[in-house]
Amino acid sequence: MNDMLRPPTDTGIAPLAFEAVAVTHRGQTLLQPTDLRLAGCHRTLVMGPNGAGKSLLLRLAHGLLAPSAGRVSWEGTTPRQAMVFQRPVLLKRSAIDNLTYALAVSGTPRRERRERAREALARFGLAPLERRPARVLSGGEQQRLALARAWLTRPEVLFLDEPTSALDPAAIRAVEEAVRDFHRRGTRILMTTHDLNQAKRLADDVVLLYGGRLIEHTPAERFFADPQTHEGRAFLRGELVW
Amino acid sequence: MPADANAFQTALALILGMDPALLGIVALSVQVSLSAVLIAALLALPLGAALALWRFPGRGAIIVTLNALMGLPPVVAGLTVYLLLSRAGPLGQFGLLFTPTAMVIAQVILILPIIAALTRQQIEELHGEYRDQLRSLGVSRPRMMPTLLWDARFSLITVILAGFGRASAEVGAVMIVGGNIDGVTRVMTTAIVLETSKGNLPLALGLGLVLLGLVLLVNAAAHLVGETARRRLG
């Protein structure tokens, strides 16, 4: 984890485009028509109060949810993607079997799976827990295992939906370090959080959502120093509530 | 000494003395019900999982039918199989009526809906939890089936044991299609009916005790499996 290579900025990963993407559910608008373009190898942090539509945006981007209107598309070859959820979803198997399963699904030859899974476990500090059932690991260990699983699929784009909201400070640090590792390897990051300090530590640019509306998409430095919108300023002061 | 206390002692003597007539009946019962549960599970587990994973026209009707068939009276199942297998019936040419095979078929019909309906519930619940993650990993629907069946394995074992319980305790169906022929199709439940009506209470009671023990054993196993799974796998 100590290679301090600058991540490549022009990676050839297809840009992701939202064109007038909207989501309605039972007559209720959850996301108003939104345009957004994510390119390069940035770490984009999606922020906003609860219910702003952060998870929705991620699920749309990852293709887990189809928009009610508009279009989500990759401008080029659809990249390899992985997603880490707020509450890690692990199979009822041992830690290592969770990893070899992901490798099997991605078509890795059987003889390579175990070795690569072991490497990933070691990388995320989980080597001693190899045979432990994944579901009885601690919250932090489970999230690291989910990150290890994502790591193995070598994603070009990684989605993280509030991956640290249920973790203690040490586990949060481990997750943030992992996000930096992914980024150094050339992975584009799209992550939601409602922790301002975390966003300051990680973000290259910020997407602010409020009430199902995209308020602004600004480079991080500018967002934190001089937000472009009234809502942005209110959010930074901690005054933006639903 | 009252007659039934005497019968109870004789029953115990029959069990402890490994009475060959009693052992034969117990062995056939277990063999028939195990075969039935094996066949029913092989058909019902994929069926239940498929119903949980795919949406298609008629799916609702199938689910309602399966749920209704969970309460199918055994005598009706027996009668249906009887009509199918009797000489004049569509499957009469195979000469299966009054054989253990006929009893296995009847029990499969009884427990297949139970295993399929409960499997669907379990898999649907697990799928709800896994759906996003599996889709994120790029797991196809056909591939989800073995994944979910394996991850639900402990609750499914309980489901299968429930099927075994119903199969081994049921009397109406095997009576009709088996005919309760001594040494050929006589199982515990049909023997209990016969021996009771003949007044041979010791054998009836002995069989009843064995059956009770078996059902207890199956339920204890189901409980143990469930508890172990919860503790070990979370």
User: The domain containing residue A149 runs over which residues?
Assistant: 16-236
Check if A106 contacts B (Cβ < 8 Å).
Answer: yes
Inter-chain touch A93–B129, beta carbons under 8 Å: no
Measured CA to CA, the distance from residue A208 to residue A220 in angstroms comes to 11
Suggest the residue from A89, A131, A149 to mutate for an interface test with chain B (most B CBs closer than 10 A): A89
pLDDT tops 70 at residue A93:
yes
Q: How many separate helices (H) and strands (E) can be counted in chain B?
A: 10, 0
Task: List all residues 6 or more positions away from B74 whose beta carbon is below 8 Å from its beta carbon.
Answer: B106, B110, B170, B171, B172, B173
Inter-chain touch A89–B234, beta carbons under 8 Å: no
Closest residue by Cα to residue B96 from B109, B83, B108, B115: B83
A1 located within any domain: no
pLDDT tops 50 at residue B230:
yes
- Residues of chain B whose C-beta is under 8 A from some C-beta in A? 129-130, 132-133, 135-139, 143, 147, 151, 153, 232-234
Contact A155, A184 (CB under 8 A): no
Length of chain A: 242
Nearest neighbour of A91 by CB, restricted to B135, B151, B232: B151
Beta strands A69-74 and A188-192: pairing type? unpaired
Inter-chain touch A101–B135, beta carbons under 8 Å: no
Q: What is the DSSP string of B41-70?
A: HHHHHHHHHHHHH---TTHHHHHHHHHHHT
**A62 contact residues in B (CB cutoff 8 A):** 136
Inter-chain touch A85–B133, beta carbons under 8 Å: yes
Q: What is the predicted pLDDT for the residue at A10?
A: 61
Nearest neighbour of A135 by CB, restricted to B138, B139, B234: B234
pLDDT tops 90 at residue B122:
yes
Q: Tell me: the pLDDT tens digits for B177-192?
A: 999 999 999 999 999 9
Measured CA to CA, the distance from residue B194 to residue B147 in angstroms comes to 47
Q: What percent of chain B has pLDDT over 90?
A: 78
Nearest neighbour of B233 by CB, restricted to A59, A135, A149: A135
**In Å, how far is B136's CA from the nearest CA of chain A?**
6
Q: What is the predicted pLDDT for the residue at A151?
A: 97
Q: What is the predicted pLDDT for the residue at A8?
A: 54
Contact B100, B88 (CB under 8 A): no
Contact A70, A106 (CB under 8 A): no
Contact A205, A220 (CB under 8 A): yes
A23 located within any domain: yes
pLDDT tops 70 at residue B1:
no
Q: Which two tokens stand for residue B46?
A: 């994929």
Confidence of residue A3 (pLDDT cuts 50, 70, 90): very low
Contact B219, B158 (CB under 8 A): no
Averaged pLDDT for residues A184-212: 94
| Better-scored residue on pLDDT, A240 or B231 | B231
Inter-chain touch B136–A64, beta carbons under 8 Å: yes
Q: What is the predicted pLDDT for the residue at B48?
A: 97
Closest residue by Cα to residue A45 from A153, A189, A227: A189
Averaged pLDDT for residues B147-155: 94
| Tally of domains within chain A | 1
Q: What is the predicted pLDDT for the residue at B37?
A: 97
Q: What is the predicted pLDDT for the residue at A51?
A: 86
Confidence of residue A9 (pLDDT cuts 50, 70, 90): low
**A93 contact residues in B (CB cutoff 8 A):** 151
Averaged pLDDT for residues B49-67: 95
pLDDT tops 80 at residue B51:
yes
Task: List all residues 6 or more positions away from A209 whose beta carbon is below 8 Å from its beta carbon.
Answer: A46, A47, A48, A52, A53, A54, A57, A215
At residue B195, the 3 state secondary structure works out as: helix
Q: What is the mean pLDDT of chain A?
A: 92
CATH number of residue A164's parent domain: 3.40.50.300
Flag the least confident range among A187-191, B47-51, B214-218. Answer: B214-218
Check if A89 contacts B (Cβ < 8 Å).
Answer: yes
pLDDT tops 90 at residue B222:
no
Q: What percent of chain B has pLDDT over 70?
A: 98
Inter-chain touch B133–A82, beta carbons under 8 Å: no
B98 CA to centre of own chain: 19
pLDDT tops 50 at residue A88:
yes
**A135 contact residues in B (CB cutoff 8 A):** 233-234
| Better-scored residue on pLDDT, A21 or B234 | A21
Q: Which two tokens stand for residue B90?
A: 């569509």
A11 located within any domain: no
Averaged pLDDT for residues B96-112: 96
Averaged pLDDT for residues A172-198: 95
Q: What is the mean pLDDT of chain B?
A: 92
Averaged pLDDT for residues B131-154: 95
Element (H, E) at A157: strand A157-161
Nearest chain A residue to B133, by CA: A89
Using the structure block, give the residue that is written with the tokens 């699920």. Answer: A59
Q: How many CB atoms lie within 10 A of CB B9?
A: 13
Averaged pLDDT for residues A38-64: 94
Measured CA to CA, the distance from residue B175 to residue B103 in angstroms comes to 8
Q: What is the predicted pLDDT for the residue at B2?
A: 54
Q: What is the DSSP letter of A133?
A: B
Length of chain B: 234
A65 located within any domain: yes
Measured CA to CA, the distance from residue B44 to residue B47 in angstroms comes to 5
A6 located within any domain: no
Check if A62 contacts B (Cβ < 8 Å).
Answer: yes
**A133 contact residues in B (CB cutoff 8 A):** 232-234
pLDDT tops 70 at residue B108:
yes
Q: Which two tokens stand for residue A198?
A: 């975390």
Confidence of residue A221 (pLDDT cuts 50, 70, 90): very high
Q: Which two tokens stand for residue A5?
A: 């290579």
**A149 contact residues in B (CB cutoff 8 A):** 137
Inter-chain touch A91–B130, beta carbons under 8 Å: yes
Beta strands A213-219 and A205-210: pairing type? antiparallel
A35 located within any domain: yes
Partners of A17 in beta bridges: A37, A73
**B137 contact residues in A (CB cutoff 8 A):** 82, 102, 105-106, 149, 153
**In Å, how far is A85's CA from the nearest CA of chain B?**
8
A241 located within any domain: no
Partners of A191 in beta bridges: A45, A160
Measured CA to CA, the distance from residue A187 to residue A80 in angstroms comes to 10
Backbone φ and ψ of A237, nearest 5°: -80, -5
Nearest neighbour of B137 by CB, restricted to A63, A105, A134: A105
Q: Tell me: the pLDDT tens digits for B164-177?
A: 999 999 999 999 99
Nearest chain A residue to B149, by CA: A92
Check if A133 contacts B (Cβ < 8 Å).
Answer: yes
A9 located within any domain: no
Domains and CATH numbers, chain B: 22-233 (1.10.3720.10)
Confidence of residue A1 (pLDDT cuts 50, 70, 90): very low
Contact A210, A48 (CB under 8 A): yes
